[in-house]
Structure 1
Amino acid sequence: MYFKNSISKVQIGLILIITTISSCQSQSQKPTSLFNGRDLSGWHVDVPKMDTIPNAKNPFIIRNEMLVSLGTPRGHLITDSIYKNYRLAVEYRFPGEPGNCGVLVHASTPRALYSMFPKSIEVQMQHGDAGDFWVIAEDIEVDNMVERRGPKAEWGGTEGKKRRIVNLTDNSEKPLGEWNEMIIECVRDEIMVWVNGDLVNYGYNATTNHGHIALQAEGSEVEFRKVILTPINELSKKVK
């Protein structure tokens, strides 16, 4: 009888352990907002002009519970944490003139390009070109690479090289002033991008698979009302 009761206790203990692990895994998969609507906690600013101009304005602010990139002076807002294997859901709009911005994934070495851009892979948000890839001292492959990037001899991730990889669609963005939703999934060496539900880019064999996430100040005011990260283990759709 004692032996049976002992086994029962062990089994109960194992069940509790498994339940705890499952609960932790479940919690780890929950979506997390990367900004709190009040301040820039969890982020740091890298704006070169702020190094030398004491009264230079920080181009990243919280306004009406939105994260806003004022566009100038130019630079980046970078997460303190490093991430891998995630889905990033971003809702953004250009409230004024059409302009330029981007989400940088797998960011690492600061100011690796033009003494401004961190080593990373940019997912373009420029109005009319949302979903393009721009490689910044990193690289990624796509299907029909020559057609979408240009002659192979000119590819590269540094100054003067063909760093842009054109997206797959036209007219996926909403009219100026309306909210767009961009979904970026990064799993291992693959990146998939959707804009307003359209699959706009898919890359593989990326030269990096983890890093910080960064938002740009690149000359135009952009409002973000959502920047939500969810850990994932697989892409939502497999293209290859």
Structure 2
Amino acid sequence: MKTLVGVTFMLITAFAVSNAQTRSLFNGKDFTGWHIDVPAMDNNDTTRNPFIVRNGMLVSLADPQGHIITDAVYKNYRLRVEYRFAGVPGNCGVLVHASTPRALYGMFPKSIEAQLMHENAGDFWCIVEDVAVPDMEKRRGPKKDWGITEGKERRIKNLTDKSEKPLGEWNTMIVECVGRAIRVWVNGDLVNSGFDCTATEGNIALQAEGSEVEFRKVELTPITKLTEGKIK
């Protein structure tokens, strides 16, 4: 009976996702539907915008640091991001359930980050929001150090550091947010699975932080919320 229920649930989930409308959040031409939050640009009109469109791609130039954020708020979805480091490997991230701007270190919006940092893709970073995973102390460190603000242990290590492709090749990250659960895949590998997230909706953001990154796809597929095995 448990096996049958499990199979039924998987089939319902597949149906709910496959029949939803996938759409691109980036039109390949400009930043319609997005806004840019870069503290260094506040009082200096000559500061370089670290986000540009190049050859139909959304490009994060890494510096000055900040975020490009969707205007719309989303919940219950699957986000597909195809990215690569354009030259030198480094740091970047995809933020989900983003809300209050500049809530951490005067720059990061309140959110949960799915890390893109080279050789660490799929780590969770808690940014004034929290999420739980199995084996928390093994993957986050001693419980006494946990927290969601400055100086606390906010990183939750991923399940594998061997899912990324060689530098210069395109990687695919999928972030699935349903209710209070967040799951992350990198190139088909499930690299993180969290539950009891303190947020269930918010904006989506991409970072400028550490190294130039090209994004050729940023696509979102709504997921029909499931309650007690039924499509709601």
How high is the TM-score relative to the length of structure 2? 0.88
Pairing 1:122-133 to 2, within 5 Å after superposition? 122-133=113-124
Structure 2: gaps of 5 or more residues: 1-15, 227-232
Give yes or no for contact 1:28–1:231 (8 Å, CA) kept in 2. no
**Aligned match of 1:233:** 224
**Aligned match of 1:204:** 195
Q: What is the CA distance between 1:38 and its match in structure 2?
A: 0.4
- Work out whether 1:86 is the aligned partner of 2:92: no
2:22 to 17, 21, 31: 31
Q: Which has the higher helix share?
A: 1
- Work out whether 1:134 is the aligned partner of 2:115: no
Pairing 1:94-173 to 2, within 5 Å after superposition? 94-173=85-164
**Aligned match of 2:7:** none
CA–CA distance in 2 between the matches of 1:105 and 1:50? 23
Q: What is the CA distance between 1:54 and its match in structure 2?
A: 1.6
**Aligned match of 1:181:** 172
Give yes or no for contact 2:81–2:218 (8 Å, CA) kept in 1. yes
Match of 1:148, SS?
helix
Give the AA of the match of 2:169. E
Match of 1:52, SS?
coil
Q: Deviations over 1:90-111 (max 9, x none)?
A: 0000010011000000000000
Give the AA of the match of 2:65. R
Q: Deviations over 1:59-114 (max 9, x none)?
A: 11110000000101100000000000000000000010011000000000000000
Give yes or no for contact 1:73–1:219 (8 Å, CA) kept in 2. no
Q: Deviations over 1:201-228 (max 9, x none)?
A: 0000000000000000002100000000
**Aligned match of 1:51:** 42
Bigger Cα Rg: 1
Q: What is the CA distance between 1:170 and its match in structure 2?
A: 2.2
Give yes or no for contact 2:121–2:161 (8 Å, CA) kept in 1. no
CA–CA distance in 2 between the matches of 1:61 and 1:43? 12
Give yes or no for contact 2:131–2:195 (8 Å, CA) kept in 1. yes
Match of 2:148, SS?
coil
CA–CA distance in 2 between the matches of 1:229 and 1:67? 15
Structure 1: gaps of 5 or more residues: 1-24, 236-240
Give yes or no for contact 2:112–2:127 (8 Å, CA) kept in 1. yes
**Aligned match of 2:13:** none
**Aligned match of 2:8:** none
RMSD after superposition: 1.6
CA–CA distance in 1 between the matches of 2:17 and 2:103? 37
CA–CA distance in 2 between the matches of 1:174 and 1:234? 32
Give the AA of the match of 1:225. R
Q: Find runs of 4+ consecutive structure 1 residues off by over 4 angstroms.
A: 25-28
Give the AA of the match of 1:41. T
- CA separation of 1:26 and 1:95: change in aligned 2, threshold 3 A: closer
Match of 2:185, SS?
strand
Number of aligned pairs? 211
Give the AA of the match of 2:57. M
Identity %: 68
Give yes or no for contact 2:70–2:205 (8 Å, CA) kept in 1. yes
